[in-house]
Amino acid sequence: MNLVDLLEKYKKYANGDLTSACKLEVEDEEIKDFDFSKYDLNNSYFGGVQFCDCNFSNVYLSGSNFGGSSLIRCQFNNNELVKVEWDDVTISDTVISSLKSKRSSFMYGKFTNVKILGGIFEGCMFDFSSIDNVIFEKCKISSTSFDGCTFSNVNFIDCKS
């Protein structure tokens, strides 16, 4: 089944159509220039996927697992990430705005050339991540752990705890 067919089937299931029951699981693929904005990725699994120039604006991502994936030049705007497992994820050359994240794990990640605007991080873990050339601007960061992280040129501008 191709990605669009799988996403359409999962969308029906996520909207209550039990006849289209399925899991949204994608591994070791490369996805370029794809617009996910009309899909629900709640409880999805994208393991080792390379996303390039993809749009995730307004996508509900709670419960998702993007472990080992790369997100390069992707768009994130108005996303909710509750209890996500995005460990060992690489995010680069990306602007993230209006993100709400609770009880989520971004451990062992690599964040390079990322700007996060108006994000909320509550009870999240970034432990042992590499964070380079990252700006957190007007973010609320509470009960969030950065233990063992390496920081290079990281700025927290008008952030609150």
Return d(Cα 148, Cα 128) in angstroms, integer: 4
For residues 58 and 76, the answer to whether their CB atoms sit within 8 Å is no
pLDDT of residue 20: 73
Tokens of 69: 């994936």
pLDDT of 148 over the 90 cut = yes
- The amino acid occupying position 148 is G
Q: Which pTM was predicted?
A: 0.93
Alpha carbons within 13 angstroms on the beta-carbon side of residue 121 total 23
pLDDT in tens, 46-80: 999 999 999 999 999 999 999 999 999 999 999 99
CATH number at 24-157: 2.160.20.80
Return d(Cα 38, Cα 10) in angstroms, integer: 12
Q: Is 8 left (phi over 0), alpha (psi -120 to 50) or beta?
A: alpha
Q: Which helix (H) or strand (E) holds 10?
A: helix 3-14
pLDDT of 12 over the 90 cut = no
**Cα 14 → chain centroid:** 19
**Domain residue ranges of the chain, discontinuous segments joined by +:** 24-157
pLDDT in tens, 72-117: 999 999 999 999 999 999 999 999 999 999 999 999 999 999 999 9
What is the CA angle 77-109-71, rounded to 5? 45
